[in-house]
Amino acid sequence: MINIREYVIDLDISNGDSKRMNCPICNGYKTFTVTNNMGKVLWNCYKVTCSLSGSSKVRLYKKEKMIYLLYYLSMLCLIKIDGRQTPSALNGV
Ligand SMILES: [Zn+2]
């Protein structure tokens, strides 16, 4: 029995990507899918007789972390700009 968690993490699927491949357990042809969703890797085999599925957290790569951080910061900025809108009555002061 292989360590499926290690196997999946070793596939090195980058964030947002997914892979469809032969199942390492039942050898089903392309029945095994792996998806990386924000550093959480989910795997599942579609073969009825094979109940292989699970999930594991993996570390985000530096680049992906930066993109996420930038996205997060830009969201914060948008909120800030919205909050800073001055009422029109103050414009004449
Ligand atoms: Zn399988």
**Number of Cβ within a 10 Å radius of residue 76:** 10
Q: CA nearest 41: which of 68, 5, 65? A: 5
Fold designation for 4-59: N-terminal domain of TfIIb (2.20.25)
Ligand 1 mean position, distance from CA 25 (Å): 5
Strand order in the sheet with 32-37: 18-21, 32-37, 40-45, 53-57
Ligand 1 mean position, distance from CA 4 (Å): 11
pLDDT range class, residue 17, cuts 50, 70, 90: very high
Residues 54-86 pLDDT 10s? 998 876 666 667 787 888 888 888 876 666 555
Residue 89 is predicted with a pLDDT of 56
Ligand 1 mean position, distance from CA 24 (Å): 7
Average pLDDT, the chain: 83
Show me where the domains of the chain are located: 4-59
- The pTM for the full model equals 0.62
Ligand 1 mean position, distance from CA 31 (Å): 6
**Mean pLDDT for the stretch of residues 33-49:** 93
Distance CA 50, CA 11 (A): 20
E strands, 22-63, where? 32-37, 40-45, 53-57
